[in-house]
Structure formats: C-alpha cells, structure tokens
Structure 1
Amino acid sequence: MTPPSDAAVASPAGPPSLPEVHRSVHVPNAGGFLRKLFAFMGPGYLVAVGYMDPGNWATSLAGGSAFGYTLLAVALVSSLMAILLQALCARIGIATGRDLAQLCRERFPKPVAYPLWALAEVAICATDLAELIGTAIALELLFGIPLLYGVMLTAFDAFLILWLQNKGVRWLEALVFGFILLIFGCFAVQIALSHPVWGDVLRGYIPAASIVTDERQLFIAMGILGATVMPHNLYLHTAVVQSRAWRMDEAGKKEAIRFATIDSTIALALALLINSAILITAAATFHTTGNTEVAEIGDAYQLMSPLLGSGMAATLFAVALLLCGLNATVTATLSGQVVMEGFLRFRLPAVTRRLVTRLIAIVPAVVVTWMQGASGTAHLLILSQVILSLQLPFAVIPLMMFARDRRLGALGAPRWQLVLGWACAAVIVALNVKLLADFFLGG
C-alpha cells in the first residue's frame, strides 16, 4: 500500500461528504453535557445497524446452537474491535473534514485508489445481498410470501430510503434508533421465555481455549468476527459524523471527537447486547435441548415455538429479523453514496443508486432461490459474510494509515489507539489468510 501523499489535512478539496446533510444538525455552543451529547447522538446508531444485520444472525445462531454460550467471548472481542475502529473513523472524519473514500482518492495514486473503490463496491453489494436475503426470509416467515417473490419485492425499499433522506438526517436517525429499540425489545422477550442459565452466560464472556483448539469453533468464531466488523461502516461513519455543525477551531473539533466517540460507543454497546441476545437465545433454546445443528434462520423459526411453548417467541424473532433487514438497508444505501461520490466524484440520483445496487444483489439471490430454495439462500448468506471478511483489510489498513498521520497534530489518535488499531488490523489479516488457506488447501 502506498503511503498518503502530502495533501494538506486542513484544506480539503472537492465537494463535502453527503452534501444533502453536511453540517445540517445544529450543535449548541452553550449548555450542559447532556444537551451537547444529544446533538451528537445519531451517527453511531446508523453505524451500529451494520453490526446486527441478517449476516450476524446466521453466525450467532450457528455458534449458539452448536457451542452454547462459549462464543459470547468472540462477540465481545469483535465488538470491542468495532468500538475502537469506529472511534478512529469519527476522529478522522472530524479532524480532516473528509470521509474515508475522499481521503483514499486524494492521497493515494490512482492505481491504488481505483481498486480500493472496486473492492468497496463489492463489499456494499455483499452487504446488500445479506440484507435482501434476511428481509425476504422475514417476509416469508411473517406473511407467507414465497422466498422468490420476497427477494424481488425488496427492490422497492429504494423509495422508502428516498423518502427518508428527503425528510432529513435526524428523521433517518430517529427511525433507525426506534427500530433498534424494537429489535432489543423482541429479544428481551425471547430471552425471558428461553430461561438461560445466567451464570453460564457470564462465563461465556470469558475466552475459552477450545475456541482456538477446536477447528469447528474457530471457523464459526471467524464467521462472527467477519459478520461483526464490516467495511462499509468505516466509510459511512467518517461521512455521517460530518452532519453535525461543530465549531471549526481546534477546541470545537476536540469536543466533537469526544461526543462522537461517546455516541458510537453507546450505540455499539447496544449492538453487542442484541448480538449477544441472538446467541443466548440460540444457546438456551437449541443447544440445551440437543438441537446443535441449527444454522438456518428458517429452521430456528420453526423450532422456536414447540421448544419454548409460545408462538409469540417465533413471531418476535421474525419481526426482529425484518426490522434488522430494513434498518441495514438504510445504511447500505448511504454507504453506497459515500463510496461512489468519494472515490469517483460522481453522483447518481438516490433512487437510481439504490436500484442499481439492489439489482446487482438481486440477480444471484433470485437465481439461487429459484434453483435451490431456502438452503441455497442460507449458503449465499454465509458466502456474503466471507466476501465481507475478505474486503475488510482494504478498508481497515487505509483507515489506520490516515489515523497515524502526524499532520493531524493535536487531533491525531493517541498512541494506545494506534497500537490497538494496528493489532486489530493484524488479527483481521491473519484470519483472512487462514480462511483462504483452508479454502485452497482443503484444511
């Protein structure tokens, strides 16, 4: 990877990131801590959506049903990595006034920048594929809509996204936050109905040696990590954090970095609770009853009612899945806009951009659904997470290169964040190397 050029940090060129909402949310210069925090709350929840999308469901269900609460430690470590990386994203977006895609275009040579753009687009299409399949499965479970028709119906969510964007970023954030609370409520009820052993739950957050020594546990653990930290979130956060109109002096930017970090940390902690709830529900419902091979969302839904003795649990499970799919659709659309405009400085109408991205995802989903049915879509869902895992280093490494830029001065990341950030990057690269080695060598 070629190091960043000597372009000035303080004087960005080109249009702002997400111009429709850029600096559109007022930040009070006076007032208490809570008033200022409220002004900055929102971008973190848009980002947190990507950490609880349908791709996370597949890995958490498989991990919980097969190994009980053991892999809660992996969910915790993955979330801590995400909290750190997203904090660095907020810092870079505020300190430079540019998003990650714009920085890559401006500071890397074209032979590096354009492949990074292509890889980012592939990651967004893979993300969209997971959301499409998850939403279609939820429609089938709730309303009996055949999976193939559900896949095609999801194309029309482009018009919902367009309407929300026209209402303003605060409306978008409020809707996403409301959906997250509903999802959390659905799983709170399911956990209450499944009666987990809380002592075992707490012990599950302590890393066990078997996660590394047991090949199957390690494989699912890698899937949980790959489904948790997603490339498009890194691009999105550096952009959407600039919707706040903070003071442009150094003190104002430091304050903005502090509040934006608090916002994303709280939001991702809530995402950790939801991901943990999926795994805990799977462990308490399936693993303890001997159903250790539940990996498909549809199977989990069908087994939930007879095992828990309540049809409400299965219904809430499907409702939460639908809300996750709709929520993640919002952030994938925004991420696509950030990546295309940042790398290419080329703008498409929002509805056109959405339909193009969704069409690319729909084609393989329709073909697989038509030929192989639900089992085929389950494998496609897992494949989308593998693709995301492989794309992740190409977003994390540029992020860390910009985070260590000394020209950021007092706004630069502290040394401990840089050390931990590079350690995260090394772990992600190592896991991807192992994933590729296992695939090609048949390990």
Structure 2
Amino acid sequence: MALAQAARPKLAKVRAGSVLLGPAFVAAIAYVDPGNVASNISAGAQFGYLLVWVIVAANLMAGLVQYLSAKLGLVTGMSLPEAVREKTSRPVRLAYWGQAELVAMATDLAEVVGGAIALHLLFGLPLLVGGLITGVVSLGLLLVQDKRGQRPFERVITGLLAIIAIGFLVGVFVEPPSASGTFGGLVPRFQGTESVLIAAAMLGATVMPHAVYLHSGLARDRHGQPEGAQRKRLLKVTRYDVGLAMLLAGAVNLSMVLLAATNLQGQEGVDSIEGAHAAVGQALGPVVALLFAVGLLASGLASTSVGAYAGAMIMQGLLRKRIPLLLRRLVTLAPAIVVLATGVDPSRALVVSQVVLSFGIPFALVPLIKLTGDRNLMGEHANHRVTMGLGWVVASVIITLNVALIWLTFTG
C-alpha cells in the first residue's frame, strides 16, 4: 500500500510530462517519408549493408538538429524562418525564401509521388490519379490543423507514424538480417559514385530542411515562450520528445535498408519501389508486401501534409505573407503532378528529390547553429561550446558530402 502511494506522484509526473510530447513526432514524419523509402531501398538493394552507417549517422545528426530547432522556438518565441528574417536584409531574405521554396517543392514531389505509388500498388490506380488523391487527402489533414488546432493534428500524424512503423518493421522480424553484415555496415566507406549519390539521398531524406524550419514553430505554437523553471522543464521534456521520435524514425529507416539488403540485394528490377514491393511479396509473402504498401501510403499522406504545413510556416516567417491553404497546396503540388503526368520514372524522381533536399540542408543548419549559439538571443540557453562544435561538424559533413557528390558526378 505504501509503495503504491509513493509511486503515484511519480506516475502523475510521468503522465504530465507525456502530455507535453508531440511536436517532435510531427517533425519525425519528415524522416520516414517516401523519399526515405526510395533511397533506403536503393541503398540496400544495390549495396547491401554498405551504407548502414549513413542511416545511423544521419539519425544522430537529426536528433541534435531537431533539438536545437525546438530550443530556438521555446527560448525566443520565434520560428527559424522568423529569426532569419530578423537578421537579414530584404534581398537576402528573398533569395533565402526562393531556395526554401524549391526545397519545399522537392519535398512535396517525393511525398505525393510516394503516395501515388502506394495507391497504385494497393488498388491499381494510375499514378496521376493516385497523386491527385494524395494531394486532396493531405489538404484534408491540413484542414484538421487549420480548424481544430495543433493537438488534434499531432494525434492524427502520430497515428500515421505508428502505421508507418508497423508497415516497415514487420519484414525485418519475418526475415532477420545478418548480424555480421549489419555491424560491418557501421564502418564508414563508399563504393563508387553511385554509392555517394545514394548516401546523399539518404542524408537529404533524413536531415530534411523543412523539418528543421518546422520544429521551431511547432514547439513555439505548442508551448509558447515559457520563462524560468517552466522553460527549463520544457527543454528537458523536449529532449525526451526528440529522442523518442528519432529513435522510432531511425528504427524504421534502418529496417528499410536491412530489409532490402537481406532480401533484395543482387536482384534485377528492385531499385524501384514497385520492384521492391513485388520482390518483398515473393520473398516474405503477400501479408508483408501489403503492410509495406500500407506503410508507404501512410508515409505519403502524413509527410505531404507536414511538408505543406512547413512551407506555409516558411513563407509566413520570412515574408510575413499568408496565402490561402488551397492555393499553397496547389503550388507545391504542381511539380509532382507534372512528374506523374509526363511518365518520368517515379522511383528515380524520388531519389533525385532527396539529393535536392540534401543541398538545401546547409541553408537551414548554418543559421540554426549560429542563432542558437548567440547569447544575446538565447541568453543562458545558448549552445555550449561542445554543442556548437558538434553542430559545425554536422554541417561540415553534409556540405563536404554534397561537394564530393558534385565532383564525382561530373568527373566519374
């Protein structure tokens, strides 16, 4: 009896803390979108366990980046785009917004195309029709956020994240990967130009620019700009929020690579999502293939909604302009519909879109690291020197990989 009474305050404290979780799980959708599926499946099918280390490193980087983004929103009461606006001149701001919009379109392309492929796999719908349906459903999810607020939107997105996790983790349990191959894949190395391209795509699909912009606004909108002890408590809760969300996203991403490395390596035609789906069905059975397709559909629907939400936050923060939700959705949807209508290989378009995202990462990371290290802006919560060092290492690794990609592409 006494033990039960002693445990109650602790249980109540855990419950109170869990209510504050959520923003990181919305941002984490960006880390398990259809672009991740395409790049991770391509990595495992073409190179086996070679690039396992990229997934692990990318998720560690993402955890640090997402915490810094949330911290910026909680401490300053500004989203990252708003903070950039305060620090830049109008010409720089407009140029910065231009690249951010290109990144948002590349993001939407991957997510809508992924949703279209999933609907084709599940119901045999033409890709163009599937893309339009994905766009319409994502608009409905955005209306939930617009009309009902952030909490219901978080619940819907977190539910879709659970479906994604089930859809992609099951295959690994049905056919466990090689332990020696998995641990061997933790050694950083490449194998030719194509492996660098895939690694850049994996990195772009994991440390996604729009998620960096978005998390600062999500944390601010959920918690406001707390002060004193409440702020310290929320920053502590945010570390758990980010850690749990990145752990789940990392497990899903790793499962994709391991699934392909175990069951698809060396097979022809499995470098596309459709080919991978068919091969998974042959190797692991129709139930696993069905869950794979359902996970892909949930990924497309959730991630395109979150991506459009981020695009609106970027425009509002940098330009202080709001445009109607429907118009915003149509603008970012257009490139994906063009790709689907013109017959471009959708899986290849997904991978290339992730490379575009990789090039947009430094434009989000460099301002984030500088701003969160600014004592005039962040006060006592400015980054520690170790955190600043790690942040600059992350940015340097990503920029170096992009430069290497350009060099190898044009000289290889």
TM-score by length of structure 2 reads 0.92
Aligned with residue 394 of structure 2, among 417, 420, 424: 424
Structure 2 residue 116 is matched with structure 1 residue 116: no
- Is 1:307 equivalent to 2:283 in the alignment? yes
Report if aligned partners of 1:65, 1:291 keep a CA contact under 8 Å in 2: yes
CA distances 1:366-425 after superposition (whole Å, capped 9, x unpaired): 22x2xx4xxx22222122112111111111111111011021221112221110001111
Please tell me whether the aligned partners of residues 70 and 216 of structure 2 are also in contact (alpha carbons under 8 angstroms). Answer: yes
Structure 1 position 88 matched with structure 2 position 68: yes
1:212 Cα deviation from its structure 2 partner: 3.5
CA 1:292–1:410: 2 relative to 1, 3 Å: farther
Question: Deviation per CA, 1:243-284, whole angstroms, max 9, x where unpaired?
Answer: 333673232222222211210111011000000111111111
Shift of 1:221: 2.1
Cα deviation, residue 158, structure 1: 4.5
d(CA) in 2 for partners of 1:437 and 1:278?
Answer: 28
2:48 and 2:262 in contact (8 A); partners too: yes
**Stretch deviating more after TM superposition (148-157 or 116-125):** 148-157
Q: How does 1:95-244 map to 2 (within 5 A)?
A: 95-165=75-145, 166-201=147-182, 203-204=183-184, 206-208=186-188, 211-212=189-190, 214-244=192-222
| Runs of 5+ unmatched residues, structure 1 | 1-29
Q: Contact 1:155–1:359 at 8 Å: present in 2 too? A: no
- Any conservation in 1 of the 2:197–2:355 contact (CA below 8 Å)? no
Q: 2: CA distance between counterparts of 1:323 and 1:93?
A: 28
Residue from 353, 370, 381 that aligns with 1:384 = 353
Distance 1:233 1:326 in 2: 16
User: C-alpha distance in 2, partners of 1:354/1:149?
Assistant: 16
Residues 66 and 292, structure 1, Cα contact 8 Å, conserved in 2: no
Q: Alpha-carbon deviations, 1:89-126, whole Å to 9, x = none?
A: 01111111100110111111122211111111110110
- 1:300 corresponds to which letter in structure 2? A
* 8 Å Cα contact 2:168-2:255 kept in structure 1: yes
SS of the aligned residue for 1:145 comes to coil
After superposition, the Cα gap between the structure-2 partners of 1:312 and 1:401, relative to the gap in structure 1 and judged at 3 Å, is same
CA contact (8 A) 1:236 1:335 kept: yes
Structure 1 residue 31, shift from structure 2 partner? 8.8
1:63 and 2:43 correspond: yes
In the alignment, the residues of structure 2 paired with residue 158 and residue 286 of structure 1 have an alpha-carbon distance, to the nearest angstrom, of 31
2:331 matched to which residue of 1?
Answer: 356
> What is the SS of the residue equivalent to 2:163?
helix
Alignment partner of 1:280: what SS? helix
Partner of 1:21: none
Give 1:347's aligned amino acid: R
1:377, 1:236 → 2: CA distance?
Answer: 26
Maintained 8 Å contact 1:100/1:238: yes
* 2:257 pairs with one of 265, 268, 279: 279
| Map of 2:371 onto structure 1 | 402
1:50 aligns with 2:25: no
Distance between the aligned counterparts of 1:344 and 1:73, measured in 2? Answer: 39
How many residue pairs get aligned? The number is 401
Structure 1 counterpart of 2:6: none
State the percentage of identical aligned residues. 36
Task: For 1:41 and 1:204, locate their aligned partners in 2 and report how far apart those are by CA, in whole Å.
Answer: 35
C-alpha distance in 1, partners of 2:382/2:71?
Answer: 8
Indicate the larger mover: 263-272 or 346-355. 346-355
User: What's the CA shift string for 1:339-384, capped at 9, x where partnerless?
Assistant: 11101111123233222321343234322x2xx4xxx222221221
- How far apart, CA to CA, are the structure 1 residues paired with 2:374 and 2:387? 13
Cα pair distance change 1:269/1:292, threshold 3 Å: farther
1:337 corresponds, among 298, 301, 312, to 312
Displacement of 1:303 in angstroms is 1.6
Aligned letter for 1:266?
L
**CA RMSD, 1 decimal:** 2.0
Shift of 1:333: 1.8
SS of the residue 2:405 aligns to:
helix
- CA deviation profile, 1:195-244 (whole Å, cap 9, x unmatched): 3234433x145224xx2464443332222112211110011000000133
The 1:84–1:140 alpha-carbon spacing in structure 2 relative to 1, beyond 3 Å, is: same
Closer, same or farther: CA 111–280 of 1 in aligned 2, 3 Å:
same
* 1:435 and 2:405 matched: yes
Q: Looking at secondary structure, tell me which structure has more helix per residue.
A: 2
Instruction: Choose the corresponding residue for 1:72, options 48, 52, 55.
Output: 52
- For 1:355, the aligned partner's letter is L
Q: Secondary structure at 1:347's aligned position in 2?
A: coil
Question: What is the alpha-carbon distance in structure 2 between the residues aligned to residue 205 and residue 91 of structure 1?
Answer: 33
Tell me, yes or no, if the aligned pair for 1:125 and 1:357 is still in contact at 8 Å.
yes
Task: Say if 1:66 and 1:293, in contact at 8 Å, map to a contact too.
Answer: no
1:266 matched residue in structure 2 = 244
SS at 1:235 equivalent: helix
Matched, 1:41 2:30: no
Secondary structure at 1:392 match in 2: helix
Deviates more, 1:166-175 or 1:75-84: 166-175
Instruction: Report the TM-score when normalising by structure 1.
Output: 0.86
Task: Judge conservation of contact 2:128–2:337 (CA < 8 Å) in 1.
Answer: no
- Rounded to whole Å, the distance in 1 between the matches of 2:402 and 2:392 is 15
Name the aligned partner's letter for residue 313 of structure 2.
Answer: V
Which residue of structure 2 aligns with residue 295 of structure 1? 271
